[in-house]
Amino acid sequence: MSHASPARLSRVLGPATAFLVGLGVAIGSGILRSPPLVAQQLPSPWWIVAAWVAGGLFMVISGLVSAELSTRYPEAGGEYVYLREAYGEFVAFFFGWGYSIFIIGGGAATIAAAAGEALASLLGAEPELARPLAALCVVAVVSVNALGVKAGAGLQNVLTASKIAALALIAVVAMAFGGAPTDWAAPLELPAGGSLTAAFLAAFIPVLWAYEGTTDSVKLAEEVKDPQRALPRALIGSALSLTVLFVLVNCAFLAVLTPEQLAGSQFPADDVMQSLLGTSGRRVMTALSLVVFLGALSATVLATVRVTFALARDGLTFGVLARMSKNQAPVPALIAVGAIAVLFTLARGFSQILNIYFLAAAVLFGLSYASLIVFRWRDAAGQRPEGVFVCPAGSWLAGLLILVQAAMAVSIIVSHPMDSLYTLGLLAGVAAFYGVWRAVRSRSG
């Protein structure tokens, strides 16, 4: 089932951008906000590090699966395209609308929430102003990306380089001057009646939030030069690079803070720099953190909005959202998802948005990974396109990713039933809206 695209995009992005988009989206609020959430669940240095290594392994596997999918269908929209080709219009509609609301809107809002908190801290403002400041961050980043794909890519590439430098600074300073208070031989102590499996799953959610976005370059596949070569290298390379970087950063935190201190911190990087360099070090780190958050927000908006664009290009949402500027910026789609993100930032805090995001992601990305199994089944009839990167043990790895997503979904439903009910209700509403959309479209055309 192949869909001809009415408007093809120009391949103007090089392999460096494809690589840096994954790093740019992932290096954001997660690595600076998630470590305390992980330490709260796993108050043991070795288990903390193990959770980050496991998250990196998950993303390497996801990168391998995504590399095959993206070279099969190197079009704008990434996972939306795979679902359209694997299952048809209804599932594509469900994913595209759900992704635009929860993954783009909710994901951008989660990053912006952290940016608002950092900006409020830097300005010495009241904590209540964090949400309005987060909304302003969304507006600013959307405005830059509206200038065109090259402007958006240029901004995110510069900010990504700055973010890597900031994290490297934390690691070097902490490793060189940290007091090493952590007892690495201390056993893991869980609350009475708590299980290691439940604790690890609860910790794995914030870990994956930190790695989230590593595969987002697939959404720019239609605009990347030589995608059959560039995308597999970018996807696998970014996952491996982030694993090394994130493990080093967490080891650096533990060189200055004990697991208990890490668990009680809101911004551990700030606390580390204050411990080592005093108040001035904390303010410098807060400013660097803001750069990290804004860079992740910019990269997120640049890549993920292509899903909304592709959905509109196929006639599954409002046609105006498929309009591109002469500089190849989907301005109406940017405004729409920016508005959704602003609403999330004003209505929900960081941890609430995170639960909503990951429950929706478990459903939506589980479907995406399953599409590889569908394509492999079709390959038996000789339908595999030429030039496709072949993921080793692809069906088995896709099945493993689906099981992990399902386990996280169950964990969220059990621990946060009200947020889960809210999320599942909205997803059910998206599915029901498909019938309304088809009826309106058939009458109008």
Reported in sequence order, the residue ranges of 372-416 that DSSP labels E, i.e. its strands, are none
Place of tokens 């909503």: 356
**Confidence (pLDDT) at 100:** 83
Distance CA 429, CA 120 (A): 35
Distance CA 5, CA 181 (A): 58
Question: Token digits for 167?
Answer: 């994290």
**Confidence (pLDDT) at 109:** 81
Distance CA 64, CA 389 (A): 9
Q: Which residues pair with 224 in a beta bridge?
A: 13
Domain boundaries along the sequence of the chain: 15-184+193-444
How many angstroms separate the Cα of 23 from the Cα of each of 54, 161, 390, 409, 414? 18, 9, 23, 25, 32
Q: What angle do CA 438, 441, 442 make, to 5 degrees?
A: 85
pLDDT tens per residue across all 445 residues of the chain: 444 444 678 888 888 888 888 888 888 777 888 899 999 998 888 999 999 999 999 999 999 999 999 999 999 899 999 999 999 999 899 888 888 877 787 778 878 888 888 888 888 888 788 888 988 988 888 888 888 777 777 777 887 888 888 888 888 888 887 766 667 777 777 766 678 888 888 888 889 888 988 898 999 899 899 999 999 999 999 999 999 999 999 998 988 888 888 989 887 888 888 888 887 877 888 888 888 888 888 877 888 888 999 999 998 988 899 888 888 888 998 898 888 888 877 765 555 666 666 777 788 888 899 999 999 988 876 666 677 899 999 999 999 999 988 888 888 888 888 878 877 888 888 888 898 888 888 877 6
Q: What is the mean pLDDT of the chain?
A: 84
Smallest CA-to-CA distance from 114 within 136, 129, 131 is with 131
Number of H helices, E strands in the chain: 17, 0
Q: Which amino acid, one-letter code, is at 284?
A: V
Q: Is 13 helix (H, G, I), strand (E, B) or coil?
A: strand
Q: Is 224 helix (H, G, I), strand (E, B) or coil?
A: strand
**Confidence (pLDDT) at 400:** 94
**Confidence (pLDDT) at 1:** 41
Smallest CA-to-CA distance from 365 within 315, 417, 317, 400 is with 400
Distance CA 439, CA 445 (A): 10
Distance CA 275, CA 294 (A): 25
pTM: 0.84
CATH assignment of 15-184+193-444?
1.20.1740.10
The 10s digit of each residue's pLDDT in 136-160 is: 988 888 888 888 777 777 777 887 8
Place of tokens 């609860």: 202
Distance CA 114, CA 234 (A): 27
The 10s digit of each residue's pLDDT in 285-296 is: 888 888 888 888
**Confidence (pLDDT) at 180:** 64
Q: Which amino acid, one-letter code, is at 206?
A: P
State residue 193 phi and psi, 5-degree precision.
85, -5
